[in-house]
Copies of this chain bind each other. A is one copy, B any other.
Amino acid sequence: MIMTIGIKSASDVRSLKQCVPVTFNYDVHFTKGLFELDNPLLAQVLITDDEDSPKKLLTVIDAGLLQHQPTLLDKLAAYAEFYQNVFRLVKYPAIVPGGEAAKNDSKLVEQIHQIIDCSGLCRHSYVLAIGGGAVLDMAGYAAATAHRGIRLIRVPTTVLAQNDSGIGVKNGINAFGKKNFLGTFAPPYAVLNDFDFLTTLDDRDWRSGIAEAVKVALIKDADFFKFITIHAVKIAQRDMQAMQELIYRCAQLHLKHIATSGDPFEKGSSRPLDFGHWAAHKLEQLTNYSLRHGEAVAIGIALDSTYSYLIGLLAKSDWQQILDTLKALGFSLYVPELVTQLHQPEHPDCIFRGLREFQEHLGGELTLMLLETIGKGVEVHHVDLSAYEKAIALLKEQTN
CB proximity to B under 8 Å, residues A209-247: 230-231, 241-242, 244-245
- Flag A1-14 by CB within 8 Å of B: 1 or 0 each: 11111010111111
Q: How far does the Cβ of A192 sit from chain B's closest Cβ, in whole Å?
A: 9
Q: State in angstroms the CA–CA spacing of A348 and B145 once bound together.
A: 28
With known contacts A266-B148, A362-B123, A29–B15 Cβ distance under 8 A: yes
With known contacts A15-B28, A362-B122, A2–B242 Cβ distance under 8 A: yes
A92 within 8 Å of B by Cβ? no
A67 within 8 Å of B by Cβ? no
CB proximity to B under 8 Å, residues A94-149: 113-114, 117, 120, 122-125, 144-149
A178 within 8 Å of B by Cβ? yes
Interface pair B122/A360, CB less than 8 Å apart: yes
- Of chain B, the residue at the smallest CB distance from A189 is B267
A321 within 8 Å of B by Cβ? no
**When A and B form their complex, which 5 residue pairs have the shortest distance between CB atoms, in order from nearest?**
A124-B363, A10-B39, A10-B33, A122-B363, A117-B176
Interface pair B13/A19, CB less than 8 Å apart: no
With known contacts A39-B11, A124-B363, A20–B187 Cβ distance under 8 A: yes
Residues of chain B contacted by A362 (CB below 8 angstroms): 122-124
A203 within 8 Å of B by Cβ? no
Q: How far does the Cβ of A38 sit from chain B's closest Cβ, in whole Å?
A: 5
Cβ contact of A148, chosen from B28, B176, B183, B258, cutoff 8 A: B183
Interface pair B7/A195, CB less than 8 Å apart: yes
Interface pair A14/B30, CB less than 8 Å apart: yes
Copies in the complex: 2
- Flag A264-280 by CB within 8 Å of B: 1 or 0 each: 11110100000000000
Cβ contact of A15, chosen from B7, B30, B182, B360, cutoff 8 A: B30
Q: How far does the Cβ of A76 sit from chain B's closest Cβ, in whole Å?
A: 15
Interface pair B20/A16, CB less than 8 Å apart: no
Residues of chain B contacted by A14 (CB below 8 angstroms): 29-31, 248
Stretch from A167-175, A291-299, A306-314, A389-397 that touches the partner: A167-175
Cβ contact of A125, chosen from B41, B122, B265, B363, cutoff 8 A: B363
Interface pair B29/A13, CB less than 8 Å apart: yes
Interface pair A145/B145, CB less than 8 Å apart: yes
